[in-house]
Structure 1
Amino acid sequence: MPDARQEHWNTIFTTKAEEAVSWYQATPGTSLRLIRACGLPKNASILDVGAGASHLPDALLAEGFSTIAVLDISAAALAQTKARLGDSGRAVRFIVADLAKWHPDLTIDLWHDRAVLHFLTEPQDRAAYADALRRALQPGGFALIAGFAPNGLERCSGLPVLRADQHVIGALLGPEFDLLEAFEEDHQTPSGGRQRFVFTRFRRRWSKSA
């Protein structure tokens, strides 16, 4: 049976049109730029966490990536993505899971998060998120994490959020991750509003002494 967090997000994705949610992007341009900057081969394993009904898997398939997984707490959100992708969605693995409770069963080259970490406001949930990332991401892999900047929104979708900069995110990941780039950017919502985001790109060291 879904818990309160799952029920909240299933309600969002079953009662609002895809283009009506504030985080909607027809083309995830910034995410794609950051992924391209990693220089990964087309068979690299990419995981998009907190994916919702994002169009990122569509874009990754169009760019020739062949090993893609998307994870979200909402089965309703992933069902929308699966329906939209049609036959091409057979190349995508769909994972319904709560990141605060998830135990990865796959190894990845790139972890992408465009706005789920900031919803994990409890320290134990954020620690569980970081643990899942470290379990899934192999040495030399990349972590792309974006969320509300320190001067961004304090609430989203009826929930409080924890705003953070690259230093806070880096401290959560730990010393084995090196920050490659960080910048702030405004996201324009479908309703015309603006939300201030911070985008970060980290790389996991090949060894603790590297």
Structure 2
Amino acid sequence: MTGARSEHWDKVFTTKVENEVSWFQPRPETSLRLIHACNLRKDACILDVGAGVSHLPDVLLAEGLNNVVLLDVSAAALERLKVRLGGDGRSVRFIVADITTWEPDLVVDLWHDRAVLHFLTESGDRAAYAEALRHSVKMGGFVIISGFALGGPERCSGLPVLRAGQDDIAALLGPDFDLLEAFEEDHQTPSGGRQRFVFTRFHRRLV
């Protein structure tokens, strides 16, 4: 499955420009608000899972957050992102990996995922995702996960998705993670459509 995922997303990111994909945001305002709510230090390690060609790292770097890690299954996406960031991305670590087989070699203060988890429709893949999360997020760290809400689309980018509510995400993470906030919000696509998302922010207990 890893090879099929990378092939699919490499094709997406080599054949479409930014504003041709439904998830495009010129500035990820909701993610930024949730990140700011964590009150992180400037040297905090922020992992963006499924970074694609998001503009989130541009803003984080501009705000002085200098320990940003970008992970994606698509090498083509990260190469585009690396070119766009240019010299500003010198401090960024780029990781090409499938989150369901990735073996974390770092400890992060914040795990951010906007719309990766909902593509993992198999229970084993979701369990592997949660295991990688638990291995990498430090005690006292934060987790931000968003994806299609229960009333959201059933497919995206030609793939089926698993819609979820806040309780589903909380159950996947387990009892060591306290839900700090959760809400639903409509994302307006570049073509003018609307997609219902759920946003969640968790804190990992110190003990």
Shorter-chain TM-score range: over 0.9
TM-score, length-scaled by structure 1: 0.97
In the other structure, the counterpart of 1:104 is 104
Question: Deviations for 1:61-102, whole angstroms, at most 9, x for unmatched residues?
Answer: 011101000000000000111000000111110000000100
Are 2:58 and 1:89 equivalent residues in the alignment? no
In the other structure, the counterpart of 1:17 is 17
In the other structure, the counterpart of 2:141 is 141
In the other structure, the counterpart of 1:184 is 184
Distance 2:21 2:69 in 1: 22
Question: Deviations for 1:45-71, whole angstroms, at most 9, x for unmatched residues?
Answer: 000001110011001001110100000
Q: Partner of 1:91: helix, strand, or coil?
A: coil
Are 2:28 and 1:45 equivalent residues in the alignment? no
Cα displacement (A) at 1:3:
1.1
In the other structure, the counterpart of 2:5 is 5
Q: Partner of 1:51: helix, strand, or coil?
A: coil
Q: CA RMSD in A?
A: 0.7
Question: Deviations for 1:149-207, whole angstroms, at most 9, x for unmatched residues?
Answer: 00000000000000001100000000000000000000000001000000000000001
In the other structure, the counterpart of 1:198 is 198
Identity %: 70
How many equivalent pairs are there?
206
Cα displacement (A) at 1:141:
0.2
Amino acid at match of 1:195: Q
Amino acid at match of 1:183: F
Amino acid at match of 1:88: D
Distance 2:126 2:100 in 1: 7
Q: Partner of 2:76: helix, strand, or coil?
A: helix
Amino acid at match of 1:5: R
Amino acid at match of 1:197: F
In the other structure, the counterpart of 1:153 is 153
Unpaired runs of at least 5, structure 1: none
After TM superposition, the structure 1 = structure 2 runs for residues 44-63 of structure 1, keeping only pairs within 5 Å, are: 44-63=44-63
In the other structure, the counterpart of 2:115 is 115
Amino acid at match of 2:94: F
Cα displacement (A) at 1:18:
1.2
Are 2:51 and 1:33 equivalent residues in the alignment? no
Q: Partner of 1:23: helix, strand, or coil?
A: coil
Are 2:169 and 1:169 equivalent residues in the alignment? yes
Q: Partner of 1:169: helix, strand, or coil?
A: helix
In the other structure, the counterpart of 2:66 is 66
Cα displacement (A) at 1:4:
1.0
Amino acid at match of 1:186: D
Q: Partner of 2:94: helix, strand, or coil?
A: strand
Distance 1:58 1:17 in 2: 17
Cα displacement (A) at 1:5:
1.1
Distance 1:22 1:55 in 2: 14
Distance 1:193 1:96 in 2: 30
TM-score, length-scaled by structure 2: 0.98
Unpaired runs of at least 5, structure 2: none
Q: Partner of 1:3: helix, strand, or coil?
A: helix
